[in-house]
Amino acid sequence: MKEIAIRENHLYNKTYSRGRRYVGRYIAVYVLKDLAAKRLMRENPEGKYVNRVGITVSKKIGGAVCRNRSKRIIRAAYRALSDELRRGYLVVISARGAIVGRNSQDIEEELSKAFLELGMMSADKTPKTEEK
């Protein structure tokens, strides 16, 4: 399912100030119950609740190429975990300085840890990573 992006600045601010947060080494995740979830469910052709996702990367991270790579990696990690997440929330994922040079597996592991701690994913579902 395609995720819906958060486009309004007030939703970012509301999620930052009122939402639950997890701050890790590479990313910070903010989660808040979406008040418009019921309306979005009715508009959804599948009739399911959806999460609205926002990804932020500061200019402190690096140049445009570095920031866009970070956003791509975060987006891919979120997509890999999105089937296991609870629906009807505003999710803001913010990159931290240590994300530079990391691969998608590192980010996916930290994102799954964040969602477990925030109660977005059930504890019995383990992340989709292969052990060597």
pTM: 0.87
CA dihedral 97, 102, 105, 109 (to 10 degrees): -30
Tens of pLDDT, residue by residue over 2-27, are 678 999 999 999 999 999 999 999 99
**Residue-wise burial string across 89-125, b where 16 or more C-beta atoms lie within 10 A, e elsewhere:** bbbbbbbbeebeebeeebbbebbbbbbbebebbeeee
Domains and CATH numbers, the chain: 4-118 (3.30.230.10)
Pairing between strand 52-56 and 20-23? Answer: unpaired
Comparing C-alpha atoms, which of 126, 38, 128, 53 is closest to residue 91?
A: 53
Strand partners, 29: 22, 93
Residue % of the chain over a pLDDT of 90: 65
| DSSP assignment letter at 85 | B
Among all chains, which residue has been given the structure tokens 């932020």? 56
Tens of pLDDT, residue by residue over 98-127, are 999 898 899 999 999 999 999 998 655 544
